[in-house]
A = this chain, B = another copy of it.
Amino acid sequence: MNLRDIGEFGFIKRISQGCLIRPQNIIKAIGDDAAAFIPTPHEVMLVTTDLLVERIHFFRNTTSGFNLGYKALSVNLSDIAAMGGMAREAFISIGVPENCSVDFLEDLYNGMKRLAAEFGLNLLGGDTTRSKTDLIINISVLGSAFEKEILYRNTAQPGDIICSTGFLGDSRAGLHLITNDMESDSNEFKALRDAHIIPKPYLWEGRFLARQGGVHAMIDVSDGLSSDIAHIAEQSNVGIRLYSEKIPVSDHLEKFCARFDFDPVEYALAGGEDYTLLCTISPDKVDHIAANYLKRFRNPLYQIGEITDSGKMELVLWNGQIRSFTTSGWDHFKTE
């Protein structure tokens, strides 16, 4: 069955169940010219939007609808997390080619609904239309935070300790397994594949960090550690020093790199789509905050380097040598 058989309104009827997770503040959900809701009192509104296009960001034959929906929403939630906010309402536009089944689309919405339910987010509206060739997904997420608690990219201070909320490089290793069709390794390296396919947004962690006095700047790792920390450096007008021995690398990634003769730190630095949070914390507060973080989330807050006033991007190797690094991250258009 495809959309031609049930029509736009028939489709909306099919997927609208389970979209409203937190109906308290909703005035008008799907079905009118616009959705209407009451913003969270006294909080600032945060908005992020991401466009995913088939054959650029995903291939329909290498993903389930569920995983695609889950990840599409997750990367938006990660942007809200990186500001220290909570995600509230999501708006989903899809452009659907003839050869895309309603089953696939329902599965896509189920992936989004699973994540929405987990974080108390409403799927409050969107647009459903045709596309000639590629499946298109645009998601806009509205979130909120107290103005004083919002964390930006341009507010890091020299001396701050740079921290990561999770392992780095797993997602890129997972992508390597998928694109090279290493299905035989899928069980052994399931965690790596999952890191790429269904990344979790660090929403609670971001909110927690935003509420601690002493966290100065934050960003999520979408383009890769080296590239994203460079955004902080550039916008805050500071330097970066990372320690390769401190960069958190999972056992799975170690094993993967040992097997294929890759360098795990290279993977962590130049990877991407980890969706962990990087934050910079005042040196006199960092141990206290890290201890509270561990208590709250039962996961360490990894201290991986520091903000300097040199303006340089430096990596300290195991042997103490200092190497400069550049943003080898992912700019969607630029050629070298």
Contacts and interface: CB of A to CB of B under 8 A. Distances in A.
Interface stretch (A254-262, A303-311, A327-335): A327-335
Copies of this chain in the oligomer: 2
A46 B220 CA distance: 28
A36 interface: yes
Nearest to A128: B332
A138 B34 contact: no
Interface in A8-58: 8-11, 27-28, 31-39, 44-57
A130 interface: yes
A143 B134 CA distance: 30
Contacts of A11: 333
B51 A94 contact: yes
A153 interface: yes
Contacts of A127: 49-51, 138
Interface in A138-187: 138, 140, 142-143, 145, 147, 150, 152-154
A136 interface: yes
Contact of A53 (B46, B82, B136): B136
Contacts of A331: 7-9
Contacts of A46: 34-36
A47 B134 contact: no
A49 B134 contact: no
Nearest to A81: B33
B132 A33 contact: no
Contacts of A48: 33-35, 125
A131 B53 contact: yes
B36 A136 contact: no
Contacts of A124: 47
A107 interface: no
Interface stretch (A83-91, A237-245, A289-297, A318-326): A83-91
Interface of A: 3-4, 6-11, 27-28, 31-39, 44-57, 78-80, 82-83, 85, 89, 91, 93-95, 124-134, 136, 138, 140, 142-143, 145, 147, 150, 152-154, 219-220, 235, 331-335
24 contacts: A7-B331, A8-B332, A27-B150, A32-B83, A33-B80, A34-B46, A34-B47, A34-B48, A34-B82, A36-B44, A37-B45, A39-B45, A47-B91, A47-B124, A47-B142, A49-B138, A50-B93, A51-B127, A53-B136, A55-B132, A56-B95, A56-B132, A131-B134, A132-B134
Given A31-B153, A49-B125, 20 more contacts: A4-B333, A8-B334, A9-B331, A27-B44, A27-B147, A33-B80, A33-B82, A36-B46, A37-B47, A45-B45, A51-B93, A51-B129, A53-B132, A56-B131, A57-B129, A93-B138, A130-B332, A133-B133, A133-B134, A134-B134
